[in-house]
Amino acid sequence: MNPKQEPLPTGTLPITTRPLTVRDAPAFERLCAREPARLLTHRLNIERYGWDSKTVRAWGAFAGEEMQGVLLRFGNIAIVADADGRCGTAFAAIVDADPGVAGVRGTIETCRTVQAALRRYRVTDWETSAFLRLRCSPACPPEVLALARRAQPGDLDNLAALYAGAGPMYRDRANVAGKLAETRVFVVEEPELGRWPARIASCALLNVEGRDAGLIGGVYTLPEVRGKGYAAACTAALSLDLQRDGKLPCLFYENPVAGRVYRRLGFEEVGQWAVLYLSPHARQGGR
């Protein structure tokens, strides 16, 4: 892919983009040191998957030799971040050149610039996503925390059933199996009751884990048992497990109800992100 350029005001360096390789690691580390919260998601994914991964592809935006922002392509989602949005036009060109992008997640300023510059795609919807971290022990009563346990391989069937009915939070069986095998998963299980078999009623897991932090996701509770503290128990237990290993629990949320649960546990907001939902523009002129 040829470098893309974004015109900037006189006296500033132009932004160029290129796919990242291991040779860009020093520049990436300097950017993460300047913008630790904004680049945390990108850093964790690169630590987890490496520079030559087929799972995550990475592009950097540069002004001269210094990296200014990063775009990750993960499945059908682009994840973007920079300090102030100035890389958004260059990122939009990468998204436009890449088929099958369903959404863009990133820092608000960057997403605004991406939205304005997109040509192949149109934004069909957007939502705000708060980024939180937990620097203290979770404020969870012992009796609630005791509801949660770490999931085991034998929980796969029940976990797959839980996420099969999770709507927008759906995860297929292969994804759930991978999480069980590779990372930390905590659940609340309701015991057998009469004719009703035991079932997993709530779960929290890690989307990605790095050397010093873990990004919590997949927090889902069956609708009929919400309000019993299950999500708080799973999230708190997972957070404590990370903290025992000296790692910082972090998460994003869009649902205000979920946000209240996390804030009661002690999570603090460190940034606002946006999620853009995309659809390709209709072809014109019969082409």
**pLDDT single digits (tens) 153-201:** 999 999 999 999 999 899 999 999 999 999 999 999 998 777 777 899 9
What is the structure's pLDDT at 173? 96
Residues near 281 by beta carbon (within 8 Å), at least 6 away in sequence = 119, 120, 121, 122
Determine the residue type at 285.
G
In the numeric block, the tokens 């919400």 are attached to 226
Residues near 201 by beta carbon (within 8 Å), at least 6 away in sequence = 162, 188, 189, 190, 221, 222, 225, 230
Between 238 and 167, name the one with better pLDDT. Answer: 238
Least confident of 12-16, 95-99, 234-238: 12-16
Residues 59-80 have a mean pLDDT of 95
What is the structure's pLDDT at 5? 43
* Nearest to 81, CA basis, from 36, 141, 20: 36
pLDDT-derived band at 11 (thresholds 50, 70, 90) equals: very low
In the numeric block, the tokens 């082409």 are attached to 287
**Phi, psi at 163, each rounded to 5°:** -75, -20
Q: Is the pLDDT of residue 277 over 90?
A: yes
* CA angle in degrees (0–180, nearest 5) for 221-266-202: 10
- 15 forms bridges with which residues in the sheet? 6, 63
* CA angle in degrees (0–180, nearest 5) for 71-73-77: 110
What is the structure's pLDDT at 31? 97
Q: Is the pLDDT of residue 148 over 50?
A: yes
Please give the Cα distance from 29 to 266 (Å, whole number): 29
Least confident of 4-8, 39-43, 49-53, 74-78: 4-8
pLDDT-derived band at 283 (thresholds 50, 70, 90) equals: low
Q: Is the pLDDT of residue 260 over 70?
A: yes
Q: For residue 113, how many other CB atoms are within 10 A of its CB?
A: 24
Please give the Cα distance from 70 to 237 (Å, whole number): 32
What is the structure's pLDDT at 198? 83
pTM summary value: 0.89
Please give the Cα distance from 226 to 4 (Å, whole number): 48
* Nearest to 232, CA basis, from 128, 127, 143, 136: 143
Average pLDDT of the chain? 92
What is the structure's pLDDT at 282? 62
Please give the Cα distance from 90 to 16 (Å, whole number): 7
Residues near 136 by beta carbon (within 8 Å), at least 6 away in sequence = 266
Domains of the chain: 5-120 (3.40.630.30), 133-269 (3.40.630.30)
Contact yes or no for 59/19 (Cβ under 8 A): yes
CA neighbours within 13 Å on the CB side: how many for 138? 28
**pLDDT single digits (tens) 102-115:** 999 999 999 999 99
